[in-house]
Amino acid sequence: MPHRDVDDDVVAQLDTRKAAAAASPQPEPLDNPFLTPRNADPGQIKQPKRKKLPSWLDHFNGPDLKALFKSSVAVWIGTILIFIDPVLNSYGQALFFAPILLFILPSTGVVLMSVLGGVSAILGMALGWAWGVITMKAALATRPAADTNAQLAALSQTVAAAAQRNISNPSASSGQSAYAQQLIFDGAMLDARVVATYLCMLGLFIYLMARLKAAAPKLALITLFAIIVSDIFLTIAPLLPSFQGAIPQVLIKPAATAIGINVVCNLLFFPESTSHICLRQVGEVVRPVGEFVGAYAAFLAFRGSVRVDEARVVRCRREVLEAFKALQANLAFLPLDFSFGCWKAEDVEALRKPLEDVLAAFMGMLNLATTQSAAAVGGAAAAASADEASRPLSSSSSSSSSSSLPGSVPIVQLLSRVETAGGDQAVAVVDQPLWSGHLDTFQSSSQPLLSAIADTVSAIIEGVELANKRRWFGRLSADAYAAVRQRHRATIAALERELDAFSKLNTERILARYDQRFDEHGARLDAGDKKAIVSADHAKALLATFVFEERLCRFGEALKGMLERVVQIEEERPTPRLWFPTKIRHAAAWVFSKDEEATLAAAESSNASSGGHEDEKKAPDGDAGDDTLDAEQLLATLRRHHGRKRRGAVGRFLLALTKWFGNAEGMYALRMLVVSIALALPATALTMFMSDFTYSFIIRIAGTVTGGVVGLVCWYIGAGNGPGNPYGMAAIMAPVIICIMWFRLYAPSVLLPGVMLVSATMFLVVGYSWDDTHIPSYGNPGVGYEIFWRRILLVLIGFFAAAIVTLLPRPPSAARHITTTLAASVRANQDILALSVLAWRHAVQGKSVTAVSETVTAATIDTFETLSALVEPIQLLRFEFSSSVFDSATLMAVVRAHGVFAVTLAQLHAYTASLPPAFRQQFAAASGVLDDDGVVVGEVVAVLNLVGQTLKTGDALPAVLRPRMAERMVERMQRVELEPVSRERVCQSEFRRYCVALNSLLGMMEALDELVVGVKGAVGETYSVGFSTALE
């Protein structure tokens, strides 16, 4: 028998655990939401009823109910102020703006974030107020005092004449001032010079704020309220004969009060520091990982009867990423945090990198489970067609045989010498269905490791929960806390043992199936021996096992690293204390950064680049610093144009000025300016693209109507036909506020604009009705239903005006914006590829490329952030009427293929950078990416360039551009002579990484082919002059 380099004690221990696991009762697999029956109609299977609420309703837990309570109480307090007459008389008729602002900025989450949101609103109002005051001063100065006095004299005469006609009425004299005010608001003091000044100066301010809103979405609150206040000046100020700079206080006073209520409720009701919130969110991110580990173990045990539910996997991925995104937003405020507990802000921040590694590996595990589920189906199909499965790989069938799993061709070459002279094909020895056999081995080897991984996840959750809970009461004793730390250290040791044992045992058990292909010394048999022949299905199964093993080990290593960090912090911070803020600059950096979500593949690439580089992490700091500088400068150089004729300074200035005014932000700002001046209303219905506008129209109309109906119900229940009872109004508003706040906090984000309009319209109906019955004034819209239909009419007028400026002169196409952004992203991938090739050259020469790898990973993450931001606009394309040849389905396929290309490129770079020199040189020889002629890289860059240009222009691709990149790479690898492979070499982890690197390279080529196919499906082909025949 061949020699097996496996510790017998480890094998015995794992076999004992396997027997114990088999003897223990197994849970019913269908009780797990990740698993569904295989090869059956779901409609005919009676699955157990899972009492699972919808995601937007499944929030009946402590933290969510606490957030709902304090947010609803804050809005209710703001609402009660409306019904207190002294407060209403002091604040004015816009007091209902306070609860509206509390819906916009609910009292939940980080206190500082709520404060900054309120300060942003106040800052926007202050900007609008300051500019309005400056504009009022300038406008009044344009009208001479003589003209002003003449108009005032004419106004006085009109009022006196009216008083003479009503001299018999005793109240006529007391109503003269009100009549004069009515005349002023009717335009008696209008002057063309004053109006022109207001329009010019306020129009400029609105234009600049609109551009700022489009360029910096995080400053939306500032720009929104600045435009609202400026519109108050635009509507009222031209009518006034004298300077009255306190006009906006009718909004600013309720807003300031709302911010105070927000902060007080956040501090009084269930207060939480930023550190406590972040620790709770870390547990929310990690908890689904533990749930999936149990599901994955059940799938391996029952894979013959169940399969992985891909829809549930996608939902799990989305939920985890949403929780991680919320955590990232709160981490930015940790340097400003006051907290009492064991861990300080830096300790919580230190969990970010280990958590990113865990998430990256977890996304790989999700893909691993779906791949194995599909592989089980493939294995059954292979067993059904034994002739096809047992056929050895030949040069004529290599590409088709390996299409389902890239990289199997090199594995065949490594394990056998396939000779097909004269078309005679030898028959490989296949003892049992390959997929089933390999998965049996993988399942038996991985069960102890999965059990250790589940224990590690539980230990991580326990660690963060103990640090976040029992801060004041029920605190653990020192001995109990030491016992917890000791148990966590034991968990780490157990996971280390299982990782080492799994890596050895799984490889040995898999290679046991290929014992007859090696001699007694572990060397591969001669090519003339038929036992040396390896079929394509053998290669696929072996490569899949390497990939599966690498993913699972990487997942375990990531969890081990995070638990080690938790234990380290536990040992350094055994007792709670009061922690004070440390830094402020991080919050400023967050404000001016773009908040776009990285996709799963980007996180996985980040993990791939960070793992397995132990030899390079030990490089001297000086070398890393030099590499970092060189990598950054090189990337900037690659993105710089070379050899292009430069225009003159005047030409460049005029071209830049034209682009600045004519780009998407400039046209959006111009449309907002036109609508704001035409209607003297804030143009909140405007969006940057037509698809967003259509969806916004639907959701906002629905929200306005719903809010109006809710407001009418509240008013007529609480007031009936009278002036209204403050106690009845306060009572009826409480349950309505709770219901709307629930949707505000937990409804899907796409419904948020509609929910906000429901709350705003409801308070407009109730607030104005109360104002009209308690502090009546000229210009009030009425009571109850009158307010409702006026509001509906006003919203419709605003939308029709916005539709006119949106459609003319040309609708802003979201498809055009998406394709332009995709083209730029494709061009960025060319830069990443070029930088990766240079890094590979450095690696072959023995230089450290750790810093270059970090630069490549960062650029890849930027690419995925861009692609992630495009997903929602692509989904909204169905609401757009566009002449673009790219529809939502095509663009989603392009984004998917482009994302796969980017992540496989990042994985390829990460795995090749961690290879030892011998394997690096062998990879370079097999792939040809480092050849001096640059044919391989040149083809990839040329295809990317053509695809990017086609995305921008929509022109057809040449027919000669065929999706054969992966096929040509396979053919190249078949022609390369590789050194012999021994059993000892196959057992090396470096060899497995080498195989995974080849798999990533072919995966990148297949993604490029899919990218070409996706683009061609929209634009078509041209220049069909027989190239295909020549190529074939």
Least confidently predicted of 12-21, 506-515, 855-864? 12-21
Share of the chain above pLDDT 70, in %: 69
Q: Angle formed by the axes of helices 310-331 and 274-301, to 10°?
A: 160
Note the pLDDT of residue 737. Answer: 93
Arithmetic mean of pLDDT, 84-106: 88
Which residue did the predictor score with more confidence, 520 or 471? 471
Least confidently predicted of 243-247, 408-412, 646-650, 1000-1004? 408-412
Note the pLDDT of residue 578. Answer: 74
CA atoms within 13 A on the CB side of 91: 25
pLDDT category of residue 634 using cuts at 50, 70 and 90: low
- Specify whether the CB–CB gap between 759 and 258 falls below 8 A: no
pLDDT at 854 over 50: yes
Phi-psi region of 299 (alpha: psi -120 to 50; beta: other; left: phi over 0): alpha
What SS3 string covers 8-37?
HHHHHHHHHHHHHHHHCCCCCHHHCCCEEE
Note the pLDDT of residue 613. Answer: 38
pLDDT category of residue 625 using cuts at 50, 70 and 90: very low
Tokens of 824: 């730029």
Which residue did the predictor score with more confidence, 19 or 181? 181
Q: What is the rounded distance in angstroms from the CA atom of residue 414 to the CA atom of residue 889? A: 40
Q: What is the rounded distance in angstroms from the CA atom of residue 600 to the CA atom of residue 272? A: 30
Tokens of 837: 């090739």
Tokens of 429: 């020895």
Note the pLDDT of residue 276. Answer: 81
Arithmetic mean of pLDDT, 921-932: 75
> Who's near 841: CB < 8 A, 6+ residues apart?
930
**pLDDT, tens digit, for every residue of 480-532?**
778 888 888 898 898 888 888 887 777 777 666 665 555 554 444 444 444 44
pLDDT at 702 over 50: yes
Which residue did the predictor score with more confidence, 892 or 369? 892
> Who's near 561: CB < 8 A, 6+ residues apart?
354, 357
**pLDDT, tens digit, for every residue of 779-817?**
777 788 888 888 888 888 888 887 788 777 777 777 777
Q: If you ran DSSP here, which 8-state letter would residue 337 be given? A: -
Note the pLDDT of residue 844. Answer: 59
Tell me the average pLDDT of the chain: 73
Q: What is the rounded distance in angstroms from the CA atom of residue 571 to the CA atom of residue 523? A: 49
pLDDT at 418 over 60: no
**pLDDT, tens digit, for every residue of 188-233?**
788 888 889 998 999 899 899 888 888 887 788 888 889 888 888 8
Share of the chain above pLDDT 90, in %: 6
Note the pLDDT of residue 513. Answer: 64
Which residue did the predictor score with more confidence, 1008 or 306? 1008
Which residue did the predictor score with more confidence, 571 or 428? 571
Which residue did the predictor score with more confidence, 81 or 417? 81
Strand 1021-1022, strand 957-958: pairing: parallel
pLDDT category of residue 81 using cuts at 50, 70 and 90: very high
Note the pLDDT of residue 277. Answer: 83
Arithmetic mean of pLDDT, 697-709: 88
pLDDT at 599 over 70: no
Least confidently predicted of 18-22, 126-130, 197-201? 18-22
Note the pLDDT of residue 435. Answer: 55
Q: What is the rounded distance in angstroms from the CA atom of residue 999 to the CA atom of residue 527? A: 24
Tokens of 583: 């830094």
Q: Where are the alpha helices (DSSP H) in 680-725?
A: 690-718
Residue 951 phi, psi (nearest 5): -60, -35
Note the pLDDT of residue 736. Answer: 93
The beta strand positions in 471-615, using DSSP E, are 577-579
Q: Collapsing DSSP states into helix, strand and coil, what is residue 719?
A: coil
Q: Where are the alpha helices (DSSP H) in 639-663?
A: 649-662
pLDDT at 5 over 90: no
Phi-psi region of 477 (alpha: psi -120 to 50; beta: other; left: phi over 0): beta
Note the pLDDT of residue 611. Answer: 39
Q: What is the rounded distance in angstroms from the CA atom of residue 292 to the CA atom of residue 555? A: 12
Torsion sign (Cα): 61, 64, 70, 75: negative
Arithmetic mean of pLDDT, 572-592: 63
- Specify whether the CB–CB gap between 354 and 133 falls below 8 A: no
- Specify whether the CB–CB gap between 789 and 811 falls below 8 A: no
Least confidently predicted of 225-234, 672-681, 1022-1031? 1022-1031
Site of tokens 């990484």: 993
Note the pLDDT of residue 855. Answer: 66
Among 348, 350, 358, 351, CA closest to 320: 358
Arithmetic mean of pLDDT, 49-67: 75
